[in-house]
Chain A
């Protein structure tokens, strides 16, 4: 680890799929603080086809903003930091060109293939497809699919050590026959990481050896009841850098510039989240909702998990969200009636013109309704994926089939989550933080007492790669400069019945002012409380209602607020909507007004 004292200036870039963002960190009063930022379009695609052009452009923006010259006359980074110029450290993350795209193959879809998918996602990849011996698709269809894909690399797994070999060799033969070509580097062999039965390594090498660049690592499922994902994850990381990044336009130059390996953006976010969870000693959920994909990260019960919902996003994937969620699911979040055809047209037009922005309130409400559904679907996928291991004795019925629904067994449950962090344009750049809070609450439907925050600049990847060298410093920047506290959500569990007493909430502020409100089922209320203000929150639930201390049990805790203050949500879980459409719209308008997302006159509340 680098010594913190040696470092007074750090520059970090994240090369996103459309934008390269640069941040400047400077040591002020002994601590690193984020002081300035700059951004420029990412330049991986034609006509520029050199990622470093976009990096340099973003660093020039950063120089303009900060007054610190970073690039010399020869277009090189100035190092070290001296006389108000240059930097001591330069780091970067990347998801440019779509990031790391992988294909995963296993023997059994819900055992080895699922573990392999977790390894790939944990390494920061987008998993383009998963094939398995027990795939529903006929083999020739799988082969065609594999041939059409152009992944950056393949992860092959299957069979416990000393166990079955045939299935994983069958998958290797399928891969060999399909002969997938890598996305970058025409003429290069596709990297394949083999993380299955060690007894099958030789035969897999015989099958794939000439068609692919094969790397064998420890079995990621050595026995059915245990996962060992780290060796595969680390190999994927290394290969991402050596094989994938170096083929992508300009990346070999970028890799030479940085003082630590370039990380895939989602891996860096995950790294920072683990630090945050460790420091706060709470389960953390983080979501980054983009135009095309939504990443969900969690650290729950000390276990890190990540999923990428590749078809859930608010611009390029907007039409997919409509298709997956259905029109009614989106309409239910609107406080006004909208012609069904007009809603579909609006969503589809956003898909084909993804960079346009809403310029009417109606348009904004539709986009935020869409975002709620994209987040909800992505969270469901994340929960379904974050389960205990399948395949062990306790998971099988008498005939040996796997049992148990995925959400029943999910490690990630709303009542465990202590902090939700939102990122991505629709959340970070909502005109009011209360709108961000409303989207997070409606989508994730947290229970108990949950803090809400946003990462406006999306600095998490930058801090994640920094954490690899300066862990404590990165954590402090996260708390002080990255996360903006929006407020607190209080939501009871239990039999919440419309119109019946649900909960009494009291906020006792430091200055002595006390507010108290009694809520019935279906109601919502907001206590104003600034982010800098702390208060004692006292919750007295009705019988059968649980606010995190057991049914009917009172709970006291200290909280600080944010723009949204303390939002109390007695709509029930799942949120119960009135069946009558007009009543539903009125209820939605009241909720949006109560939380401060919209003024009454804006939405007719």
Chain B
């Protein structure tokens, strides 16, 4: 039985934190400790190894595998072009010639006299790593990573799709709630990080993709709509690799859900400002939440409570009163019986609309 409530998502107009920015492979760092960086600065670069492509050369030539090294005209480490001759053999007293040519450009990785394969590696792909945050470099791992300390605004969502992106914040439909349709999207939303206070429809997302928006941040979306947008059932427990034409971040979850007041206050405060956004989500084994990070705003920096106590604000994250917020008035020591017949630890909460209700601790997010 859980004793702890869910720690709330980080939502703050101004918070100081550090983040490591890592290359996937060894490369070159372009920033040093003490450097000031902007979010769009390139702080590191590397060459990502190309994919491997084994060629069953001995089989293609019709020769014993052990003979392959004698028949190759290239060596391990050689660069080859597409269609370049790799190996050849002659049969029928030299009358018939067989050839194996490179299916693509690359480097000869290995030539095996056991398996009869020639393994080619495609040309490396250069990658650049953005800072993603504005701040100061406070640490480095040579060739691999930089640590950046930042004072930024931060809004974490509950689930997202798609990876890192950046753009200017634009608030759709004047900040009204309700589910947003395609009519609210305009061509000037190209490249923007669009914010919708309420839910968003699949049609609106389609239109945003058409105009080339960088990202959309909304309260919620219907699960069926998400499947339609993704073109398949996405694994929402671990995301970030999806290519759906933009980055999608939900602050509340699935259904027609309105963004929390706190999240909307920070995001609307960023209107017109350039932010970084990332939809990557991992629900377990090292929780990762999607996020929007922008320049620091005025207003009280706040972090969610870590301990439940009388007077602490909570938000209901499941059930009939999903999204409602209120104050903890009592914390019964013993488990209470729920309508399901199960017994669980709960809070007595006075919601902001005046209703008093029992909320299982597991269903209360500390805010």
Q: Please give the residue numbers on chain A whose beta carbons come within 8 Å of chain B beta carbons, in ascending order.
A: 17-18, 45-46, 97-98, 139-140, 143-144, 165-166, 169-170, 173-174, 176-178, 203, 207, 291-292, 316-317, 319-320, 322-323, 340-342, 344-345, 347-349, 351-361, 363-364, 429-432
Contacts and interface: CB of A to CB of B under 8 A. Distances in A.
Nearest to A354: B283
Contacts of A348: 223, 226, 236, 253-254
Contacts of A363: 318-319, 340
Interface of B: 1-2, 6, 51-54, 65, 109-110, 112, 114-117, 119, 158-159, 222-224, 226-227, 233, 235-237, 253-255, 281, 283-286, 317-320, 338-342, 344, 359-360, 362-363
B237 A359 contact: no
A352 B249 CA distance: 13
B256 to A, nearest CB: 9
30 contacts: A18-B284, A45-B286, A139-B54, A166-B114, A166-B115, A170-B115, A170-B117, A173-B54, A173-B112, A173-B115, A176-B110, A177-B119, A341-B222, A344-B222, A345-B253, A348-B223, A349-B254, A349-B255, A352-B158, A352-B236, A352-B253, A352-B254, A355-B2, A356-B318, A357-B363, A359-B340, A360-B339, A363-B318, A364-B340, A431-B340
Contacts of A291: 284
Given A178-B52, A358-B318, 15 more contacts: A169-B112, A173-B112, A173-B117, A207-B114, A345-B223, A345-B253, A348-B253, A348-B254, A352-B158, A353-B158, A357-B318, A357-B360, A358-B340, A359-B318, A431-B341
Contact of B283 (A97, A351, A364): A351
Contacts of B222: 341, 344-345
User: Which residue among B159, B283, B285 has the maximum number of chain A CB atoms within 10 Å of its CB?
Assistant: B283
B339 A144 contact: no
Contacts of B224: 340-341, 344
B286 A355 contact: no
A167 to B, nearest CB: 8
A319 B236 contact: yes
A348 B110 CA distance: 46
A176 B119 CA distance: 11
A430 B222 CA distance: 29
B236 to A, nearest CB: 5
A158 to B, nearest CB: 12
A165 to B, nearest CB: 8
B339 A361 contact: yes
A358 B284 CA distance: 20
A173 B318 contact: no
B214 to A, nearest CB: 23
A436 to B, nearest CB: 12
A347 B159 CA distance: 14
A203 B253 CA distance: 53
Contact of B362 (A165, A169, A320, A355): A355
Contacts of B359: 359
Nearest to B157: A352
B254 A316 contact: no
A364 B283 CA distance: 22
A322 B254 CA distance: 15
A317 B237 contact: yes
Contacts of B52: 140, 143-144, 177-178
A482 B117 CA distance: 56
B56 to A, nearest CB: 9
A288 to B, nearest CB: 17
B342 to A, nearest CB: 4
Contacts of B237: 292, 316-317, 319-320, 351-352
A355 B319 CA distance: 13
Contacts of A166: 65, 114-116
A359 B223 contact: no
B285 A345 contact: no
A361 B342 CA distance: 10
A291 B362 CA distance: 15
Contact of B51 (A143, A292, A344): A143
Contacts, number: 150
Contacts of A203: 114
B255 A345 contact: yes
Nearest to A41: B4
A344 B223 contact: yes
Given A323-B233, A356-B362, A361-B339, A344 B115 contact: no
A340 B225 CA distance: 12
Given A353-B253, A355-B6, A356-B317, A174 B54 contact: yes
Nearest to A203: B114
Contacts of A292: 237, 284
Contacts of B233: 319, 322-323
A316 B284 contact: yes
A354 B318 CA distance: 11
Contacts of A431: 340-342
A429 B342 contact: yes
Nearest to A292: B284
A320 B235 contact: yes
Per CB-CB distance, the 4 closest pairs between chain A and chain B, nearest first, are: A431-B341, A344-B223, A323-B233, A345-B254
B339 A169 contact: no
A140 B223 contact: no
B6 A353 contact: yes
A194 to B, nearest CB: 15
Contacts of B54: 139-140, 143, 173-174, 177
Nearest to B120: A140
B114 A169 contact: yes
B114 to A, nearest CB: 5
A173 B317 contact: no
B53 A353 contact: no
Contacts of B318: 349, 353, 356-359, 363
Contact of A140 (B53, B286, B342, B363): B53
Contacts of B2: 355, 357
Contacts of B110: 173, 176-177
A356 B339 contact: no
Nearest to A349: B253
Nearest to A344: B223
Contacts of B119: 173, 177
Nearest to A327: B224
A17 B360 contact: no
B285 A353 contact: no
A18 B3 CA distance: 13
A177 B109 contact: yes
Contacts of A345: 222-223, 253-255
Nearest to A322: B233
Nearest to B234: A319
Contacts of B235: 319-320
A207 B111 CA distance: 12
A341 B284 CA distance: 25
A251 B341 CA distance: 40
B127 to A, nearest CB: 16
User: Which residue among B115, B119, B235, B236 has the maximum number of chain A CB atoms within 10 Å of its CB?
Assistant: B115
A322 B65 CA distance: 48
Contact of A359 (B65, B117, B286, B338): B338
A364 B320 CA distance: 13
Contacts of B236: 319, 348, 351-352
A144 B114 contact: no
Contacts of A364: 340, 342
A139 B236 CA distance: 28
B253 A357 contact: no
A360 to B, nearest CB: 6
A290 B126 CA distance: 42
Contacts of A429: 1, 342
A40 B296 CA distance: 37
A218 B237 CA distance: 39
A37 B359 CA distance: 27
A174 B112 CA distance: 11
A360 B114 contact: no
Contacts of B254: 344-345, 348-349, 352
